[in-house]
């Protein structure tokens, strides 16, 4: 089954960060799929909000990705400057999601033998 390994996602994230000059706090976490394979999970920490954001493939066989925002019980109150900063963080997350979708088109690692990290 096609997938994006943690190693591949880290390489793609490095390339995105270098080209975009943003997203230094974004990281790739290990996420085991239902078959035990590494599916990859991209964690986007926000400094101006209390929600958590992560990006993951919608379908391991395709190129679609989704951004999930997980709410927290506390309220976020921001100044206009802080809201602009949050908007910038969300823009980077959206651009990274689009980048991962573009990189995933036609990508297939299923032939690469498993190698522990």
Tell me: the pLDDT tens digits for 76-89?
889 999 999 999 99
Q: Does a structural domain hold residue 95? A: yes
Distances (CA, A) of 48 to 32, 55, 84, 88, 91: 29, 18, 9, 10, 13
Distance CA 96, CA 2 (A): 20
Q: Which of 2, 9, 49 has its CA nearest to residue 31?
A: 9
Q: Does a structural domain hold residue 114? A: no
- Are 100 and 11 a contacting pair, CB within 8 Å? no
The reported pLDDT for the residue numbered 37 is 56
Q: Does a structural domain hold residue 116? A: no
Q: Does a structural domain hold residue 33? A: yes
Which residue range forms the structural domain that includes residue 58? 6-104
Q: Does a structural domain hold residue 30? A: yes
Q: Does a structural domain hold residue 23? A: yes
Q: How many other C-beta atoms are found inside a 10 Å radius of the C-beta of residue 90?
A: 18
Q: Does a structural domain hold residue 110? A: no
The reported pLDDT for the residue numbered 43 is 93
Tell me: the pLDDT tens digits for 22-36?
889 999 987 766 555
Q: What is the mean pLDDT of the chain?
A: 83
Whether the full predicted model's pTM is greater than 0.85, yes or no, is no
Q: Does a structural domain hold residue 51? A: yes
The total of structural domains in the chain comes to: 1
Distance CA 53, CA 68 (A): 6
């Amino acid at each position: 089954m096609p997938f994006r390994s943690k190693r591949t996602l880290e390489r793609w994230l490095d390339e995105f960060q270098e080209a975009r000059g943003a997203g230094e706090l974004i990281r790739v976490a290990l996420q085991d799929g239902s078959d035990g394979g590494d599916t990859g999970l991209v964690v986007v920490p926000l400094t101006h909000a209390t929600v958590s954001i992560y990006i993951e493939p919608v379908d391991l066989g395709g190129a679609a990705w989704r951004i999930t925002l997980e709410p927290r019980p506390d309220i976020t109150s921001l100044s206009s400057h802080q809201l602009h900063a949050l908007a910038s963080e969300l823009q980077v997350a959206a651009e990274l999601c689009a980048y991962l979708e573009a990189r995933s088109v036609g990508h297939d690692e299923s032939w690469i033998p498993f190698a522990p990290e």
